[in-house]
């Protein structure tokens, strides 16, 4: 009950700000919070990245194992993405197996990487039909101040770009870098009573009608999309969001990924 | 091993199953198929077979899950173990959890949730046979099941996917297109064309995406017609008596209006029925449809009335018909 009253008040406040073209933290509608991204932060992992997006903080670790391929793609490596919303990150998170939010965000991250063809999976095949590399992307959320999704996607591709495949350790030939072909970047927007804004913080996430995540690639094509939240979108708003997201994604790629 | 077809679209512009690129698979719906559920719908769409049922609004336990200002909608998308080629392990998977979440959110904008604070509406969608597009099939069935249960809604939800094969956008993917195509974009729309579910994976340009929305709208429009037809059929059909004998196009409003000219007896009866929560939930799913000036609950009540003294009612319908039609016009 208490939370509901709070969120009604908060929504009013954020909505009224929006009408004046403002956001609670003073950002423009198309402005992403400051990003601090560092790679190779965990020595034990084959690749890793730490990201701070505004106040949201998380770690992505990449581990590789030798395993068997899926029967329908015997010549390709396997990607497995999981996300843990650890109770350390928010009073609202509980310990235990991932719930629908964590599953959804992990799967959207996974689809962005998979469908963009960012990893050349055929190069992860060791012996066709028998042995392939399995890439585990584990997202460990440390502090939630909103928009875990974009932080996770950006850190995941950054971590993958710094990953070395441990051929020698596993007795499968030489070490080699992860075969990366593209850099998918996710940008999320929320719709608050009519205007879309990028990179929602915690409050904006709590009061938004719906939320849209768009994953786009270097050539400007879209490789993943997900609407979530209880609202509906009209196509005008949707198309505006898509073009804004693609533009923002290319800025993020420019500043944070191309120098890795 | 891969049995990817060489071409998805032949030189005549026809797809592997003979459809044109903007054609949906044949769809069949049946309503009220489960006796225990408050509303239900069985759907066949291509080779998909989906059964959806709605229970509620009903009391929600445990109480801590209750929402003080609205009803809680729960949506469970579940695939039968035998519904696909290789048996799948029963119970929730990561995939089904995600689908359940986004499908629930697809209905939130249309269900009038504020009417039942503290209660729950359970929607169960069972995929009995899967052949590409099960989440959209489940949503189409669930939408009709919600209406069948008399849940008040602003309108029906219709869902359909657009994909890309051979560099061309196609409506309502079949299995090979889904497996080997370049993109899959499932969407759910309200009857006003607002998007309530949107997912996408694959690779499309912004231009293609724009076109995909248009195609999907057209597909959903056709599906909406089938859904409406299914509902109309149930709520105009009477046991034993076929009212459409003389006039094929009997429309719900004429029946309802003519039978509910309130005689005193019926009024008292109505009030009694009012105590039954489910019958009294003024459901508005057909509201935007101009013909249907009367909402679902009345239709349901009427159905009962009609059955009770069908002969008299039928006579009255026949007599009143021309007048009512004039009124409508």
- B78 and B207 in a common domain: yes
Query: What is A27-257's CATH number, 3.40.50.300, 3.30.230.70, 1.20.1090.10, 1.10.260.40?
Result: 3.30.230.70
pLDDT digits (tens, 9 = 90+) for B146-168: 999 999 999 999 999 999 999 99
pLDDT digits (tens, 9 = 90+) for A137-170: 999 999 999 999 999 999 999 999 999 999 999 9
In this predicted structure, the answer to whether residue A71 has a pLDDT above a threshold of 50 is: yes
- Scanning every residue of chain A, which has its alpha carbon at the shortest distance from the alpha carbon of B97? A100
Task: Give the β-pairing of A185-192 and A195-198.
Answer: antiparallel
In this predicted structure, the answer to whether residue A222 has a pLDDT above a threshold of 60 is: yes
Q: Of the residues B236, B267, B291, which one is the last residue of a structural domain? A: B236
Residue B1 included in any domain: no
Interface of B with A (CB under 8 A): 1-2, 67-69, 94-95, 97-98, 100-102, 105, 108-109, 185, 190, 193-206, 209-210, 213
Give the confidence band of B253 by pLDDT, cuts at 50, 70, 90.
low
Angle at alpha carbon of residue A44, lines to A42 and A49, rounded to 5°: 30
- pLDDT (0 to 100) of residue B172: 97
If you average pLDDT over residues B261-265, what whole number do you get? 46
In this predicted structure, the answer to whether residue B296 has a pLDDT above a threshold of 60 is: no
- Of B83-92, B143-152, B283-292, the range with the lowest mean pLDDT is B283-292
- pLDDT (0 to 100) of residue B243: 52
Give the confidence band of B271 by pLDDT, cuts at 50, 70, 90.
very low
- pLDDT (0 to 100) of residue A10: 84
In this predicted structure, the answer to whether residue B322 has a pLDDT above a threshold of 90 is: no
Q: Of the residues B209, B236, B263, which one is the last residue of a structural domain? A: B236
- B140 and B94 in a common domain: yes
If you average pLDDT over residues A52-72, what whole number do you get? 95
If you average pLDDT over residues B114-130, what whole number do you get? 96
Residue B12 included in any domain: no
- B167 and B248 in a common domain: no
Asked whether the beta carbons of B45 and B129 are under 8 A apart, the reply is no
Give the confidence band of A8 by pLDDT, cuts at 50, 70, 90.
confident
- B137 and B74 in a common domain: yes
- Scanning every residue of chain A, which has its alpha carbon at the shortest distance from the alpha carbon of B4? A72
- B203 and B262 in a common domain: no
Inspect the interface and report whether the beta carbons of A116 and B213 lie closer than 8 Å.
Answer: no
- A74 has a chain B CB within 8 A of its CB: yes
Residue B21 included in any domain: no
Residue B231 included in any domain: yes
- B198 and B101 in a common domain: yes
Distance of alpha carbon A249 from alpha carbon A244, whole angstroms: 8
Residue B50 included in any domain: yes
- pLDDT (0 to 100) of residue A7: 74
How many whole angstroms from its chain centre is CA A192?
21
Which stretches of chain B are DSSP H helices?
A: 94-107, 134-148, 175-180, 206-236, 252-259, 264-274, 277-280, 296-308, 310-328
- pLDDT (0 to 100) of residue B302: 43
- B296 and B158 in a common domain: no
Q: Number of residue pairs across A and B with CB atoms under 8 Å?
A: 105
Q: Of the residues B208, B236, B264, which one is the last residue of a structural domain? A: B236
Asked whether the beta carbons of B324 and B257 are under 8 A apart, the reply is yes
The whole-chain average pLDDT of chain B stands at: 80
- pLDDT (0 to 100) of residue B142: 98
Count of structural domains, chain B: 2
Q: H or E element: which one contains A75?
A: none
- B207 and B64 in a common domain: yes
Give the confidence band of B37 by pLDDT, cuts at 50, 70, 90.
very high
- Scanning every residue of chain B, which has its alpha carbon at the shortest distance from the alpha carbon of A242? B206
Q: Which residue among B2, B195, B199 sits closest to A232, beta carbon to beta carbon?
A: B195
* Least Cα separation, residue B100 to chain A (angstroms): 9
Question: ipTM score here?
Answer: 0.85
- pLDDT (0 to 100) of residue B58: 95
Q: What are the CA-CA distances from residue A5 to residues A2, A81, A116, A201, B119 (Å)?
A: 5, 36, 42, 19, 19
- pLDDT (0 to 100) of residue B237: 67
Inspect the interface and report whether the beta carbons of A229 and B105 lie closer than 8 Å.
Answer: yes
Measured from the Cβ of residue B319, the count of other Cβ atoms closer than 10 Å reads 10
Hey, is A76 helix, strand or coil? coil
Distance of alpha carbon A196 from alpha carbon A9, whole angstroms: 20
If you average pLDDT over residues B92-100, what whole number do you get? 96
- B128 and B53 in a common domain: yes
- Scanning every residue of chain B, which has its alpha carbon at the shortest distance from the alpha carbon of A99? B97
- B63 and B192 in a common domain: yes
- B258 and B213 in a common domain: no
Inspect the interface and report whether the beta carbons of B101 and A100 lie closer than 8 Å.
Answer: yes
Measured from the Cβ of residue A183, the count of other Cβ atoms closer than 10 Å reads 24
In this predicted structure, the answer to whether residue B254 has a pLDDT above a threshold of 80 is: no
- pLDDT (0 to 100) of residue A103: 96
From the candidates A104, A128, A190, A227, which should be mutated to test the interface with B, based on the most B CB atoms within 10 A?
Answer: A227
Which residue range is the domain that position B285 belongs to? 243-328
- A109 has a chain B CB within 8 A of its CB: no
Please enumerate in sequence order all residues whose Cβ is within 8 A of that of A93, keeping only pairs 6 or more positions apart, or say none.
Answer: A85, A86, A87, A141, A144
- pLDDT (0 to 100) of residue B244: 52
Give the confidence band of A194 by pLDDT, cuts at 50, 70, 90.
confident
CATH for B177: 3.30.230.70
Inspect the interface and report whether the beta carbons of B2 and A222 lie closer than 8 Å.
Answer: no
Q: Which residue among B68, B105, B200 sits closest to A228, beta carbon to beta carbon?
A: B105
In this predicted structure, the answer to whether residue A33 has a pLDDT above a threshold of 80 is: yes
If you average pLDDT over residues B228-239, what whole number do you get? 83
Global pTM exceeds 0.90: no
- B294 and B228 in a common domain: no
Residues of A in contact with B203 (CB under 8 A): 115-117, 217, 221-223
The answer to whether the Cα torsion of B202, B207, B213, B216 is positive or negative is negative
- pLDDT (0 to 100) of residue B263: 46
- pLDDT (0 to 100) of residue B1: 44
pLDDT digits (tens, 9 = 90+) for B299-308: 444 444 444 4
pLDDT digits (tens, 9 = 90+) for A203-219: 999 889 999 999 999 99
Residues of A in contact with B209 (CB under 8 A): 222, 239, 242
């Amino acid at each position: 009950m208490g939370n509901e009253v709070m969120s009604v008040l908060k929504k009013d406040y954020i909505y009224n700000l929006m009408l004046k073209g403002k956001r609670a933290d003073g950002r423009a509608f198309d402005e992403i919070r400051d990003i601090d991204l560092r790679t190779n932060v965990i020595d034990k992992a084959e690749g890793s990245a730490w990201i701070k997006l505004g106040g949201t903080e998380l770690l992505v670790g990449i581990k590789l194992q030798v395993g068997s391929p899926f029967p329908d793609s015997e010549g390709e490596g396997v990607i497995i993405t999981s996300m843990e919303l650890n109770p350390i990150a928010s009073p609202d998170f509980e310990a235990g197996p991932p719930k629908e939010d964590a599953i959804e965000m992990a799967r959207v991250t996974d689809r962005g990487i998979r469908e963009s063809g960012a990893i050349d999976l055929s190069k992860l095949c060791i012996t066709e039909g028998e042995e392939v590399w399995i890439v585990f992307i584990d997202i460990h959320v440390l502090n939630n101040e909103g928009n875990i999704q974009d932080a996770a996607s950006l850190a995941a591709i950054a971590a993958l770009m710094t990953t070395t495949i441990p051929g020698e350790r596993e007795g499968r030939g030489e070490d080699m870098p992860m075969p990366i072909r593209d850099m998918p970047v996710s940008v999320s927007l929320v719709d608050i009573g009519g205007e879309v804004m990028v990179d929602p913080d915690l409050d904006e996430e709590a009061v938004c009608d719906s939320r849209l995540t768009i994953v786009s690639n270097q050539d400007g094509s879209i490789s993943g999309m997900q609407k979530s939240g209880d609202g509906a979108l009209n196509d005008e708003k949707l198309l505006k969001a898509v073009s804004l997201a693609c533009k923002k994604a290319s800025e993020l790629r420019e500043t944070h990924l191309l120098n890795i | 091993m891969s049995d990817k077809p060489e071409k998805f679209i032949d030189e005549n512009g026809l797809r592997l199953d003979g459809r044109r690129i903007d054609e949906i698979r044949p769809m069949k719906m049946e309503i009220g198929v489960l006796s225990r559920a408050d509303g239900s719908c069985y759907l066949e769409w291509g080779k998909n077979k989906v059964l959806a049922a709605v229970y509620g609004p009903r009391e929600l336990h445990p109480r801590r899950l209750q929402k003080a200002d609205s009803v809680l909608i729960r949506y469970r998308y579940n695939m039968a173990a035998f519904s696909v080629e290789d048996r799948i392990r029963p119970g929730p998977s990561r995939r089904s959890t995600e689908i359940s979440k986004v499908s629930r959110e697809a209905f939130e904008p249309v269900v009038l949730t504020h009417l039942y604070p503290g209660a729950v509406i359970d929607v169960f969608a069972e995929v009995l046979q899967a052949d590409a597009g099960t989440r959209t099939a489940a949503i189409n069935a669930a939408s009709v099941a919600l209406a069948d249960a008399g849940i008040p809604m602003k309108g029906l939800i219709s869902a359909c996917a657009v994909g890309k094969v051979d560099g061309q956008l196609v409506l309502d993917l079949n299995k090979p297109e889904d497996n080997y195509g370049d993109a899959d974009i499932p969407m759910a729309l309200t009857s006003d064309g607002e998007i309530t579910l949107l997912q996408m994976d694959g690779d499309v340009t912004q231009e293609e995406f724009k076109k995909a929305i248009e195609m999907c709208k057209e597909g959903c429009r056709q599906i909406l017609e089938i859904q409406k037809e299914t509902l109309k059929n149930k709520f105009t059909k009477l046991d034993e008596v076929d009212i459409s004998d003389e006039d094929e196009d009997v429309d719900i409003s004429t029946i309802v209006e003519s039978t509910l000219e309130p005689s005193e007896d019926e009024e008292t009866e109505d009030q009694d029925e009012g105590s039954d929560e489910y019958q009294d939930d003024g459901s508005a799913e057909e509201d935007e449809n101009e013909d249907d000036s009367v909402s679902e609950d009345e239709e349901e009540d009427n159905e009962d009335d009609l059955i009770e003294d069908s002969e008299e009612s039928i006579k009255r319908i026949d007599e009143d018909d021309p007048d009512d039609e004039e009124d409508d016009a």
